[in-house]
Amino acid sequence: MNKVIQQEEEQAEVSPMEGLLSSVDLHIPVVGDILEGTVLEKTSNSMLLDLGPIGTGIVYGAELKDGMGITSALSVGDKVKATLTDIENEEGYLELSVRQASYNRAWEDLEEKKEKKESMPTRILDANKGGLLVELNGITGFLPVSQLSNANYPRVENGDKNRILELLKKLVGQDLRVRILDCDKETEKLIVSEKAAQSEKEMTAISELKVGDIVEGDVSGVVDFGAFVKFFPPSRKDVGAAEEKLEGLVHISELAWQLIDDPREIVKVGDTVQAKIIGIDETRISLSMKSLQKDPWTEVHERYQVGQEVQGKVDKINPFGAFVYLDKDIHGLAHISEFKNAHPGKTMEEMLVPGESYRWKILSIEARSHRMGLTLLKK
């Protein structure tokens, strides 16, 4: 074939856009590149961009939307970055997406905020039994129940998951301040924490407290392992708003001096109580109610002596033996090994009924450790 004819055919196959790009000494973009352009025209469903020597780009419909609010704030003359999605569409424009470019920038912004430990507002989209779905920079993330602040944490007796979900759903549509705990664009993993966002504020309030302080507050929740109490830090005691309250835990062992199977037997939600601060670990405050009560074991030797025969009610039986109350405060243990020696061939379940009283002999008293050894007397 004649070389001249061949060159004319090759030139005929080249599009006007390709011809323009080849005539200018510049970087030829490829699909996926992020380009910067100046807004020429903007409507509700499209936007024209001046890309300089490259030509004119257009952004259509859904590709205008972004999670960082970039497009909504643009006007003619503003510069914006967009991702190239088509080198030349049917109208001869380079087709672009602000949404895709914004998606990359959104993750970069989230990474920066994570590293700087910045807090940011988020809207609660939905709830499930594990936590809340949130949105940051147009990206969906997850806020686990365990990372909710004290004010929003669902205090549910018996850990009823359906009741927890009911309380979480009340947060849908609300705005919360959160801090990013985990952020990974590759796996699209975004985990946030309301508790971490408030920790700095809480730490400031907690710094007013010290072990040994006595606080007064309201029981905000009762669970199997204890009771939560909300109270004001000293500086906000008379002027504070409800959200400024701190929250501490009274462990079941610190509710009262007697043995407790169910904290609900001692306190209920809404009760006003006093407690002593016995521990502060970052934002965790440990409280004790029994520390403000007189230890009945300090006078145990005035009421009971080793070798004494007493009447006592069986509280419960476990593999170690039987727990027995001599009065409302003092209890003892009839150990299983002692029982077997004294009553060979018998079991505690055969001879003892929880709630019934029997005659016992005191074998030992250890007041400091709140221990008393008992043996069942034969009828």
Q: Per residue in 252-294, pLDDT tens?
A: 999 998 888 889 989 999 999 999 999 998 778 999 999 999 8
Give CA–CA dist 207/282, Å, rounded. 9
Does the pTM surpass 0.85? The reply is no
Tally: H helices and E strands in the chain: 8, 20
What does the pLDDT look like over 326-367, one tens digit per residue? 998 899 999 999 999 888 888 999 899 999 999 999 999 999
17-21, 77-81, 360-364, range with the lowest pLDDT:
17-21
Higher pLDDT: 252 or 224? It is: 252
pLDDT tier at 196, thresholds 50, 70, 90: confident
- pLDDT of residue 18 exceeding 60, the answer is no
Contacts (Cβ under 8 Å, ≥6 apart) of 181: 114, 147, 191, 192, 193, 196
- pLDDT of residue 11 exceeding 60, the answer is no
Average pLDDT over residues 55-79: 80
C-alpha of 170 from chain center: 16
DSSP 377: P
Residue for token digits 């005691």? 237
What does the pLDDT look like over 99-133, one tens digit per residue? 777 788 888 889 999 998 888 889 999 999 899 99
Please tell me the total number of residues recorded for the chain in this structure: 379
C-alpha torsion 212→213→214→219, nearest 10: -100
The Cα-based distances of 17 to 27, 86, 112, 120, 336 in angstroms read 14, 12, 39, 44, 93
